[in-house]
Amino acid sequence: MRLLVTGAAGMLGHDVVAAAVRAGHHVTPLSRGDLDVRDFAAVRAAVITASPDAVVNCAAWTDVDGAEAQEAVAAAVNGDAAGHVAAAAAAAGAFTVQVSTDYVFDGTAGEPYAESASTAPLGAYGRTKLAGELAVAAAAPGRHAIVRTSWLFGHHGANFVATMLRLARERDELTVVDDQVGCPTFTGHLAAALVVIAERRLTGIRHVAGAGSCSWYDLAAAVFAAAGAEVALTRGATGDSGRPAPRPAFSALRSERPDTPALMPWQDGLRAYLEAPVSADAVGPKGVTA
């Protein structure tokens, strides 16, 4: 398979490229410096040149708090540009895999959100990602997958796990919120699932995240325990954090579609991350069960 990956220098994009190469595919990786996905003419030219069978769009505005103040800018990347990628791919006969987020939900559910659950984003980031979902669906009917995932951590970008490991070296005490619950997801495992979805052209909305769920407090505790760090943890509240963007209190995901690749438990993702701190290339498709 010929695969084009946008946002290829990012945390997830880097791992998608590595997973696709391991799977034996021909990959064209395009970073933000290589391609401005907001420029439709440039996107169309890049797709024509690469002649891919599938495109995985990892290009995204991921600054949740920053999106509150710059929603139009975030929307250009997460919304309009996602449509550009899907339209160019569809015109070339290629399949699009669009990465989306648990933030399209409001967090009021009493059980994990399935693909058929109603969306109701609380903040700008969620709104712009939902706009991207709609743009992709409109631009490439029957030729796309929208993969919602959550709480990403990997070796090639800033993330919560890396932050906790740094703080463990700097502090003896730490307060972490325990009133947000979600599914921590290792990008090394998610990347392999995205490649499978592209290979099989699994259409429609797909929820793919680390199995199980926990709070940020629970994840921090697991990180410190696994790393052997002695940090006194205190449970905190989201309302006391002073962050400008609202966050869903409960955004765990599940899939009701039996052919959706299922990831290993988030604890296994954390273990894989900690066991290979230098390179995500050490983590392969073993993180996915189809």
Sign of the C-alpha dihedral, residues 290, 60, 180, 257? negative
The pLDDT assigned to 242 comes to 86
The pLDDT assigned to 40 comes to 98
Sign of the C-alpha dihedral, residues 282, 58, 116, 219? positive
- Per-residue pLDDT tens over the stretch 230-250: 999 999 999 888 889 999 999
The token pair at 74 is 């975030």
Where are the domains positioned within the chain?
2-159+183-212+252-289
- Smallest CA-to-CA distance from 249 within 261, 260, 257, 241 is with 241
Torsion of CA 41, 91, 31, 285, to 10 degrees: 170
Summarize the confidence of residues 154-160 as an average pLDDT.
95
Between CA 143 and CA 23 the distance in angstroms is 22
The pLDDT assigned to 127 comes to 98
Catalytic position from the list 113, 125, 217, 273: 125
- Per-residue pLDDT tens over the stretch 65-102: 999 999 999 999 999 999 999 999 999 999 999 999 99
Residue 284 has pLDDT above 90, yes or no: no
User: Would you call 113 a catalytic residue per the annotation?
Assistant: no
**Inter-residue contact 8 to 30 (CB < 8 Å):** yes
Summarize the confidence of residues 131-135 as an average pLDDT.
98
- Per-residue pLDDT tens over the stretch 175-204: 999 999 999 999 999 999 999 999 999 999
- Per-residue pLDDT tens over the stretch 4-26: 999 999 999 999 999 999 999 99
Which residue type sits at 43? Answer: V
Residue 287 has pLDDT above 90, yes or no: no
> pLDDT band at residue 290, thresholds of 50, 70 and 90?
very low
**Inter-residue contact 45 to 88 (CB < 8 Å):** no
- Smallest CA-to-CA distance from 100 within 72, 69, 134 is with 134
Between CA 20 and CA 76 the distance in angstroms is 28
Between CA 201 and CA 104 the distance in angstroms is 23
Question: What is the fold, at CATH topology level, of the domain defined by 2-159+183-212+252-289?
Answer: Rossmann fold (3.40.50)
User: Pairing mode, if any, of strands 95-101 and 144-149?
Assistant: parallel
Cβ neighbours of residue 282 closer than 8 Å, sequence gap 6 or more: 275, 276
Between CA 64 and CA 104 the distance in angstroms is 12
Between CA 288 and CA 198 the distance in angstroms is 14
Summarize the confidence of residues 285-289 as an average pLDDT.
33
The pLDDT assigned to 110 comes to 87
- Per-residue pLDDT tens over the stretch 35-74: 999 999 999 999 999 999 999 999 999 999 999 999 999 9
**Partners of 232 in the beta sheet?**
173
More confident residue, 243 or 138: 138
Query: Mean of the per-residue pLDDT values for the chain?
Result: 94
Residue 151 has pLDDT above 80, yes or no: yes
The pLDDT assigned to 276 comes to 81
3-state secondary structure of 38: coil
User: Pairing mode, if any, of strands 204-207 and 144-149?
Assistant: parallel
Residue with tokens 């169309």: 44
Query: pTM of the predicted model, to two decimals?
Result: 0.94
The pLDDT assigned to 277 comes to 57
φ and ψ at residue 250, rounded to 5 degrees:
-140, 115
Cβ neighbours of residue 109 closer than 8 Å, sequence gap 6 or more: 117, 250
